[in-house]
Structure 1
């Protein structure tokens, strides 16, 4: 059966990026590093062409494409975090490796890839049948940079100003 595998474009540091990504969460590992068999626009013979890896069980590919390409918000990778501790750990790892914070739980890594670092509780709050509570949680989330589970919970429960 065919599968869809996201391919991320890099300019010479695909293997470094893949190694960083697999350090972020369990069930992540480098599967294969393919090297260029001859000099070409993506690199010299023997240099890394592709690094295949899993991130939280999801297969991805990092490709050294031979030139810098810009990522946009049109595509981001979402990390479903178990709790606040995992949000904090992943967020701090991105920042420690040159990432920059954005609104609503988004962060860009040093290569420009957009990531959404999302606590699982947020999906419960926003998907609630209590639409007023879900709206309060959404309004609170829209004011955040890194998502805060307790602040989201308080907004959801109507215990804080949204």
Structure 2
């Protein structure tokens, strides 16, 4: 018997705007697309309470990572306990993702690379240089970089490197 390759799909619960969210995310991330839209049927309406024909599930892909947006209703809301981390090669990428994902989001939920988008989903926009600094054998330098990061909202690579160097 051979083992199949494990596939993980992230399911995000929305309140009627899963298609809007999928279209937004696929416009932000390269190599992304909406794969399939499934609509609610009349069957089971007494339980799902959604209008037949309205969007139930949107399957989409963000640069190879599969997602499902489920229009499940107002019962559950996103919070910072779950976030998606975006590894950025340079400040240009940090600035791009921060601006795009933060547009219309909650500014009160922006700290230390975290940004909440207009749907309430939390993202960590992290320069790979920051990860390298924090993993440094030089614990004093790593500590200075960490201290600098704790006072930032959007991460500034030049300022982090300055702090790292002392």
Q: TM-score when scaled to structure 2?
A: 0.87
The answer to whether structure 1 residue 43 and structure 2 residue 50 are counterparts is yes
Worse-matched range after superposition: 6-15 or 50-59: 50-59
For 1:140 and 1:78, how far apart are their aligned partners in 2? 19
| 2:22 aligned to which of 12, 18, 34 | 18
Counterpart of 1:90 in structure 2 is 97
Between structures 1 and 2, the one with greater helix share: 2
For 2:34 and 2:95, how far apart are their aligned partners in 1? 24
The answer to whether structure 1 residue 111 and structure 2 residue 119 are counterparts is yes
The answer to whether structure 1 residue 148 and structure 2 residue 152 are counterparts is no
Larger Cα-atom Rg: 2
Shift of 1:14: 0.1
Q: TM-score when scaled to structure 1?
A: 0.89
Instruction: List runs of 5+ in structure 1 lacking aligned partners.
Output: none
- Give runs of ≥4 in structure 1 deviating > 3 Å: none
| 1:3 aligned to which of 4, 7, 15 | 7
Aligned residues: 157
Counterpart of 1:30 in structure 2 is 34
Shift of 1:95: 3.0
The answer to whether structure 1 residue 78 and structure 2 residue 96 are counterparts is no
Aligned pairs (5 A) from 1:120-139: 120-139=128-147
